[in-house]
Amino acid sequence: MDSTRPDSGTIAERHRSKHREATADVEFGAWIDGERRTGGPKQGIEDPVIGESIVDVPQSDAGDVDDAVDAAWDTFEGGWEDTTVRDRSERLFEWAEVLADHVEELTLLECLDCGKPISQARGEVEGAIDTLEFYASAIRGQRGSEVPAGEDLHLYTKREPYGVVGQVVPWNYPLWAAAWKLGPALAAGNACVLKPASDTPLSTVRAAQLSAGVFPDGALNVVPGSGSEVGQAIAEHEEIRKVSFTGSTGVGSGVMRAAADRVAPVTLELGGKSPFIVFPDADLDKVVQAVADGIFYSTGEICDAFSRALVHESIADEFTERFVEAAESYVLGDPLDEETTMGPLTSKSQFETVTDYVETGKEEANLLCGGGRPDDPELTDGYYVEPTVFDGVTNDMTVGCEEIFGPVQTIQTFESYDEAIELANDTQYGLASGIGTESTSLVHQTADDLDAGLVYVNEYGPIMPDAPYGGFKRSGFGKDLGLEALDHYQRQKSVYVNL
Ligand code: TAP
């Protein structure tokens, strides 16, 4: 395993200096009704590379959620609901432009806060901007419909925003995930109250501040705070008319129960344990890297990670050998270094969770590579875990069926098509799946048979705002992204007119 070194000083020195640079001109805190809130208890936001706080962020509470909801309704009823699509589109484009002017600042915050390699952090910030631009365009093309209903009747349908919507996002791609929710919700004319994950609020809070003057005060509110208080308050709030949640299946089902009490619709993007089926005719030059990127991108902290490679037995030896080589080629190092391809896990608790899974895997299966922390003494304060690969795995093992959310790959073999599909679908989840083959007919047959909301063929990603993104089964329902997400932020009304 290679590791990278900063040009000068230790990693800790370089990071402390970057903490000062990234936070010098910004006061973090809730963004409510177009103003910063800086009171209340503070939480240190940890840099997972050196285990030290980047900055203290004032934490919102349930009272702040009430204030944000009140401000959002005032704005919605005070004129936001009557804005034209052209107006909202132009404002979203304007916000995207402001964020584009601050790409490097937001990238640095994301990199420091999550430990993401800087090139990945930049790509995700750019992805967030692209998402806002997509919805700024898409809303201009939306139409209602006219229904032929007879001579005396004019029957048409129209779409309306819900009013105030609540949104809760996780820590693995903070700003990008926030844009997936804010873009369609604002484009559709809702006012938003969004909670970032308590470990990673910095980029989203900063992006909200950068919306000052773009949207009317109160249209976009961000409340950083704990899930148990702020997230729960959003899920339960009587005046929040729709909730969109991304996170774990356990918390997501609780959000759904809370929203059910007031019959508020929810969108849930939840966990995954996604298979990638490698058929005998697969081009391993493409597929090995696709599966590796699918599990090692973002240190495996991705909901659609290809965490289960299902490989035809005739090519299993070659695939496994090449996959281990690919795993060992990731460069663990300082995420600030452009050469680094894998950073640490995002938090200490995540490090402990993943390390526990790795230890369980060593008892259950056969460790092929990784399985510990990198040797580099400069990385020992960070939450680094080596790319880890197990074979001899079965679906009933803990590492074969539970979402690890770290850089841990399992390899299983299959003999027949039916066995591959059975293994792939034998999971409570259904977010993503992958196929490695050069056969067009096999692609279509397998895409039909896989019980998952996303199918990638011979590649991992890219995620485009143009297409709906979301899972089946316990991976959730409703969609982020695509025109479908706009639908989820709108109510449809049928109007019967007999004049
Ligand atoms: P969670 O623990 O579920 O946290 C997600 C968000 O929910 C965080 O903002 C969290 O706040 C908040 N939260 C915690 N308890 C809450 C409650 N009682 N009510 C309302 N909100 C609450 O998930 P995680 O461990 O951070 O994220 C990893 C999980 O998210 C994985 O399962 C992953 O697959 C899934 N994920 C799915 C997708 C898609 S698109 N399907 C994308 C990314 C991640 P705190 O930060 O304060 O805990």
What would the pLDDT profile of 384-437 be if each residue is shown by its tens digit? 999 999 999 999 999 999 999 999 999 999 999 999 999 999 999 999 999 999
| pLDDT of 2 higher than 80 | no
∠ CA 164-167-172, nearest 5°, is: 160
What pLDDT, in 10s, does the model give residues 123-162?
Answer: 999 999 999 999 999 999 998 899 999 889 999 999 999 9
> Quick one: pLDDT at residue 135?
98
> Quick one: pLDDT at residue 4?
42
What pLDDT, in 10s, does the model give residues 194-253?
Answer: 999 999 999 999 999 999 999 999 999 999 999 999 999 999 999 999 999 999 999 999
The one-character DSSP state at 314 is G
Mark whether 321 is an active-site residue: no
Does residue 6 have a cis bond before it (omega within 30 degrees)? Answer: no
Give 3-state DSSP helix, strand, coil % of the chain, rounded to 5. Answer: 40, 20, 35
The mean pLDDT of the chain is 96
- The residue whose CA is least distant from atom 4 of ligand 1 is 247
> Quick one: pLDDT at residue 8?
66
Q: Which residue among the candidates 105, 269, 378, 403 is catalytic per the annotation?
A: 269
What are the pocket residues of ligand 1 if the criterion is a CB atom closer than 6 Å to any ligand atom?
A: 168-172, 195, 197-199, 226-228, 231-232, 235, 246-248, 251, 254-255, 269-272, 303, 403, 405, 431, 471, 475-476
| pLDDT of 184 higher than 90 | yes
Mean pLDDT of 13-37: 96
> Quick one: pLDDT at residue 7?
53
**Is 59 buried (19+), middle (13-18) or exposed (0-12) by CB count in 10 A?**
buried
pLDDT band at 461, cuts 50/70/90? confident
ipTM of predicted assembly, 2 dp? 0.95
Comparing CA positions, the residue from 2, 106, 103 lying closest to residue 334 is: 2
- Is residue 370 a contact partner of residue 387, using CB atoms and an 8 Å limit? yes
